[in-house]
C-alpha cells in the first residue's frame, strides 16, 4: 500500500489494494473483518457507496466507525473480506493537522506532483473562501479556517473517495453550521463519493444522502434522506428520520 502523504498531516491518499475498484468508481465492501487481539471490531460488514453519493456513518464510540474509515483509506489492513474503492482517496480528520512551519498554500500542496503546485493550492483555497490566506502561517488561523485548509488539501487532488472523520467535532456551533454548508457545496461541485463518520445524528441528516447506523461491528440499518429543499431540523420528516436512526442505535429520547 503506497501512501503519498504522511498520516500526521491530516490528509492522506492511498493507492487501491486488493480487488480493483468497480468500473464506475463506486465503493464496495464485502465481508469486512477487523480484529484487535480477541476483540472483533468489524464482523462481516458489507457497504456500498455510489459515485457522488454522500453517506454518513453514525454509532456509539467503539463500534468500529473509525476502523472502517481507516481501512477504506488504506491506513490499516483488514483481517478478512474485500474492499474495492477508487485509487484516489483523501482523509480529513477531526484535527486539521496543519504543519506549523509551512505556509497555508504549502500545507495544501503537500505531495502534489508536477505543474504549478502554488496555483493549484491557491485555487483550492479560493474554493473554501481563504484566498487572502494563501501566504499566512497556520498559527494565525481560527479553528474553522484551519479546517477549511484541511478540506482544500483533501479536494485539491480531486479524489474519487473523500473520507471525513468527525471533521467538525471541535468547532463551535456557528462555525459548524457554516462548515456544513461549505462541505455540501464542495461535494456537489467535485462529486466524490463521501463517507462521513459522526456521532451527531442531526449532522448526518443535515449533510448526507444516506445515513447508515452501526452497532457491534455491523450495520444496524440505513435510511435514505428524502427531504426536499432546506433540511429544517424542526420539520416532521427530519424528526421522523432522527427518531428512526436513534432507534437503530438503541436510543430512546424522553418526550
Q: What is the pLDDT of residue 59?
A: 86
C-beta separation of 194 from 53 below 8 A? yes
| Tens digit of each residue's pLDDT (9 = 90 or more) over 98-151 | 999 999 999 999 888 777 889 999 999 999 999 999 999 999 999 999 999 999
pLDDT at 87 over 90: no
When pLDDT is cut at 50, 70 and 90, the band that residue 249 belongs to is confident
Does the global pTM surpass 0.75?
yes
On whether the 8-96+160-248 domain is CATH 3.40.50.300, my answer is yes
Alpha-carbon span 153 to 92, nearest angstrom: 9
Cβ neighbourhood burial of 224 (10 Å; 0-12, 13-18, 19+): exposed
Question: Contact 153/10 with Cβ under 8 angstroms?
Answer: yes
Domain locations in the chain as residue ranges: 8-96+160-248
Q: Is the pLDDT of residue 39 over 80?
A: yes
How confident is the model at residue 164, as a pLDDT? 94
pLDDT for 12-38, tens place per residue? Answer: 434 334 445 555 668 999 999 999 888
Amino acid at each position: 500500500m503506497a501512501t503519498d502523504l504522511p498520516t500526521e498531516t491530516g490528509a492522506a491518499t492511498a493507492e487501491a489494494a486488493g480487488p480493483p475498484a468497480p468500473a464506475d468508481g463506486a465503493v464496495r465492501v464485502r465481508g469486512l473483518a477487523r480484529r484487535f487481539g480477541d476483540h472483533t471490531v468489524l464482523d462481516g460488514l458489507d457497504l456500498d457507496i455510489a459515485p457522488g453519493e454522500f453517506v454518513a456513518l453514525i454509532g456509539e464510540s467503539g463500534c468500529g466507525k473509525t476502523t472502517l474509515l481507516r481501512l477504506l483509506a488504506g491506513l490499516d489492513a483488514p483481517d478478512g473480506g474485500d474492499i474495492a474503492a477508487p485509487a484516489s482517496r483523501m482523509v480529513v480528520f477531526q484535527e486539521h493537522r496543519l504543519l506549523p512551519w509551512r505556509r497555508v498554500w504549502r500545507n495544501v500542496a503537500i505531495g502534489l506532483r508536477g505543474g504549478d503546485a502554488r496555483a493549484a493550492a491557491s485555487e483550492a483555497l479560493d474554493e473554501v473562501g481563504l484566498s487572502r490566506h494563501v501566504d499566512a502561517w497556520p498559527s494565525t488561523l481560527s479553528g474553522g479556517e484551519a479546517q477549511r485548509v484541511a478540506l482544500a488539501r483533501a479536494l485539491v487532488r480531486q479524489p474519487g473517495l473523500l473520507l471525513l472523520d468527525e471533521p467538525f467535532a471541535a468547532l463551535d456551533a456557528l462555525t459548524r453550521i457554516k462548515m456544513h454548508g461549505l462541505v455540501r457545496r464542495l461535494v456537489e461541485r467535485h462529486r466524490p463519493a463521501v463517507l462521513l463518520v459522526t456521532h451527531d445524528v442531526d449532522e448526518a441528516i443535515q449533510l448526507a444522502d444516506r445515513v447508515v447506523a452501526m452497532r457491534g461491528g455491523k450495520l444496524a440499518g440505513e435510511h435514505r434522506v428524502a427531504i426536499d429543499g432546506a433540511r429544517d431540523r424542526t420539520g416532521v420528516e427530519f424528526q421522523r428520520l432522527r427518531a428512526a436512526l436513534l432507534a437503530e442505535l438503541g436510543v430512546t429520547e424522553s418526550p
